Amino acid sequence: NAGVTQTPKFQVLKTGQSMTLQCAQDMNHEYMSWYRQDPGMGLRLIHYSVGAGITDQGEVPNGYNVSRSTTEDFPLRLLSAAPSQTSVYFCASSRGPDQPQHFGDGTRLSIL
Amino acid sequence: GENVEQHPSTLSVQEGDSAVIKCTYSDSASNYFPWYKQELGKRPQLIIDIRSNVGEKKDQRIAVTLNKTAKHFSLHITETQPEDSAVYFCAARYSGGGADGLTFGKGTHLIIQP
């Protein structure tokens, strides 16, 4: 039982490049979410999904896209990376938004 | 939306003493309040949570209290141990419309002095 798996663990990008952060869960959770964590800022919600085919914006969605074609996978796309997107990104899943969220190990992303 | 304030940002206590971390939230529609512990370089892990229909919850050395009228909730750790050293985050789930997810406080760095 792997829980929530994020790939890659580390990534360095140049400004303007695009990439996809992968997130997969094997707990059959309907609710999945992406957060970014910056020093001194806590975790901030980027996008979330309440089930396959349904996504919505969180607190800081600009510059990011998501899709949810299956219950298991919830990828996060950076369309044109900017230095302000340097952060640690966490994916989480749960049975619902008011249920305990299980976090992945995070992706540490640097934009040069 | 929701706004969560967390205090203090750093808390240093002697091993064996108690630690208290406090959070306030802005919207009375919030109904779920989890606490997460994060060790350096690791993922956040849930340690305890409470819902708006409960005033207090306890799990061994950890307890959480909720005051809906004042819109604040607190984490209490008794008999602190070195392994309690970490960053602790409170969060609130806002259910009044708009983004449906957790709003986190900025964290408290808890240091247990031997």
Q: Search chain B and give the residue with CA nearest A90.
A: B43
Amino acid (1-letter code) at residue B81: Q
How confident is the model at residue B1, as a pLDDT? 76
Q: What average pLDDT does the structure give for chain B?
A: 94
Q: Encoding tokens for residue A95?
A: 């049975």
How confident is the model at residue A1, as a pLDDT? 64
Partner-chain residue, chosen from B32, B43, B91, that has the shortest CB–CB distance to A106:
B43
pLDDT band at B57 (very low <50, low <70, confident <90, very high): very high
How confident is the model at residue A39, as a pLDDT? 87
Partner-chain residue, chosen from B34, B99, B105, that has the shortest CB–CB distance to A42:
B105
Partner-chain residue, chosen from A42, A44, A90, that has the shortest CB–CB distance to B107:
A42
CB count in 10 Å sphere of residue B11 = 17
In residues, how long is chain A? 112
Task: With a cut of 50, list the residues of chain A below it in pLDDT.
Answer: none
Mean pLDDT of the B24-32 span:
92
Instruction: Give the Cα separation of B103 and A46 in Å (integer).
Output: 11
Instruction: Give the Cα separation of B19 and B81 in Å (integer).
Output: 11
Mean pLDDT of the B61-81 span:
97
Inform me whether the pLDDT recorded for B96 exceeds 90. no
How confident is the model at residue B110, as a pLDDT? 98
Which residues, at least 6 apart from B54, have a Cβ–Cβ distance to it below 8 Å? B66
How confident is the model at residue B100, as a pLDDT? 84
CB count in 10 Å sphere of residue A87 = 21
Burial of B70 (0-12, 13-18, 19+ CB in 10 A): exposed
Inform me whether the pLDDT recorded for B26 exceeds 90. yes
b/e per residue B25-61 (b: at least 16 CB within 10 A): beeeebbbbbbbbbeeeebbebbbbbebeeeeeeeee
Mean pLDDT of the B88-103 span:
85
pLDDT band at B97 (very low <50, low <70, confident <90, very high): low
How confident is the model at residue B28, as a pLDDT? 87
Q: Search chain A and give the residue with CA nearest B32.
A: A98
Inform me whether the pLDDT recorded for B99 exceeds 80. no
CA distance B42 to chain A (A): 6
In chain A, the DSSP E strands lie at: 4-7, 10-13, 19-25, 31-37, 43-51, 54-57, 64-66, 76-78, 87-94, 102-103, 107-111
3-class state of residue B98 by DSSP: coil
Q: Kindly state the percentage of chain B with pLDDT values over 90.
A: 85
